Structure formats: C-alpha cells, structure tokens
Amino acid sequence: MAGILSIAKGSPHWWLSNSIWVTPVGDPTTAPGTGNPVAGKSYNTSVVVSDPYPDPVDSGWNLFVCWVIPTIGPAPVPPAAQILNNAPVPPVAAMSSLQVEAADTWTPSYENNGHECMIAVAYNAGAIGGLPVTSLDGNAPSSDVFSIAQRNLGVVQVKQGGRRPFHYAFQACNGEHVEQRYAITARQAPLSDIEAFLPGIPGGKSILHKPGKFEHLGLTASHKKGGDGSETGPEDLPSVAIAPRSCQPFSLNGVLDEGNALIHVTQSLDGEVVGGLSLLVMAEG
C-alpha cells in the first residue's frame, strides 16, 4: 500500500470535476454521464481515482461518495441516507486510473426541486481511520492521505410563454469555528466553460450555438421563489456573515427569454474563492 490516490478537480473551476458522474441504471454510458438527473429515476454514480505515482495502491484506501443540495463553501457531512459509498477501493496499478462505481444507487428526490451536487473523497483509512473531516471542502488541497472533488453543475429549463424567469436555491456554508464574512457573486460565463459536460445534457454541444442573455440576474438571501424574476437582488453580496459551522439559504434568480446561458456563483473570503457552483439555464423552444 505504498501508492497515493487522488481525484481530479475541475479546471479551471475546481467545483466542476469531470471525475464524478451519474448514469441511469442499466445505461452503459461513460463519462461525462448525465448532466440533468431526473427526480424519481435511479442512477449509478461513478468516480475515477488515480495513482500518479510509481508505486501501486494495493489496499488501505476508501472512497466516500455522497450527494448534497447545491452548496458553496464547505458542506456538512450529510446523513447516512445521502451517502452512496464509503468502502475500500480495489487495487490500483501504479501510474494508472480506475473507475469505481458507488455501492448504492442514487434516486434524486424533489428536495430543493431535484437539484443536488456530488462530492467524492478518497482517503487512506489504513493510516487515518475514518473520514478525516467534519465538513466537505471541495477546494481542499490533496495530500498523501486525502483527496476530494466536487461536481456542482445544475441544469434548469425555463418554460415557454411570456417572460421566462428561473429560480435556483442553494446554500452557502462556513466550516470554521468562528463567524466569517464572505462575498457571494453571480456572473454570466461563456458556455464553453462546460463544453466537456454537454454530451450528457439534452441538446448536447448544439447548446453552444444558441447563447442567451440574462435579465435581472441576482441573488437573494432566502430560498423563497420570486415572481416574474424582476424582483431579484444584486449580483454581488459583498459581506455576508455566516455563523460558525453553519449554512444559510440563498437563491439565484433571473429571466432568460431565449437561448442558453451559464452562471458561475462563487463564495470568496479575503479575495480567495472558497466555494462555487455553476448553473446552465436553457430556454425551451
């Protein structure tokens, strides 16, 4: 057990890991898998773990996989019902990767309107025992005993007819033991930022050819759904206080009349991004 395992983070946005994906049960599709799981349908979750070193990993490493509601900042370790895997990783040859399927299937519920994100942790249980953290920070650097990655990409389709508002609920968390003040921002981003994920989303890469422009894009400090999308808050919340080891609800709202558009929401502390999620909004028709 001389080797070290890691899970690749997303690049350039670390919360968009391409090493975690889901596929419908019975569907042999491989990465990047399904980008918009449907509530009530069962999925397999796959994670790629890698040993980039000249020594193989024969035993001792576990893979922890869970889902949480969309979260920026360190997410609390969820209850058992949201944990899909916490079991030993099969042997991994030196300088190679292995696709591992979670032991339990995942059936998305309508909690938070069916939107969730996936988090995977590889850790050296032989050296440190159980999961070595009390909160899951997708931006935490890998070490010789621990590696974590997050896939936090939501997909919303707005309905036809009249104005087309959208609403996306998420939470921002503080994993520290003291209150922290964070800046939370929402920005429209190029659709090309998620090009690698588009094969698993209805429309595929044709999404790139129909860019749209948001109106009234903004953040509100609650999960309450707005009206026509024009009553949203600002795109920047420069100083949000979050109590120690707790989370607060937020929503992303706006209007997209046509085309497709991408938003990155980030949570920063002293200018450093410590949490993020991305949302693809698609105007039907």
Render pLDDT for 258-268 as a digit per residue (tens, 0 to 9): 999 999 999 99
Which tens digits make up the pLDDT trace of 109-128?
A: 766 666 789 999 999 999 99
- Average pLDDT value for the chain: 91
Query: 124-163, pLDDT tens digit by residue?
Result: 999 999 998 889 999 999 999 999 999 999 999 887 665 7
Of 22, 247, 278, 17, nearest to 142 by C-alpha is 17
Average pLDDT, stretch 209-231?
A: 82
Superfamily, domain 155-283: Immunoglobulins (2.60.40.10)
- What helix, strand, coil percent values describe the chain, rounded to 5? 10, 45, 45
Cβ 74 vs Cβ 137: under 8 Å = yes
Same fold flag, 20-151 and 155-283: yes
- Domain range list for the chain: 20-151, 155-283
Residues in the chain, total: 285
| Superfamily classification of domain 20-151 | Immunoglobulins (2.60.40.10)
pLDDT 10s digits, 31-79: 678 878 888 889 999 999 999 999 999 999 999 999 999 999 999 999 9
Q: Give the integer Cα–Cα distance in Å for 210 and 152.
A: 23
- What DSSP state is assigned to residue 196? G
- Cβ-Cβ contacts under 8 Å for 56 (sequence gap 6 or more): 2, 3, 91, 92, 93, 94
**pLDDT tens for each residue of 238-264:** 999 999 999 999 999 999 989 999 999
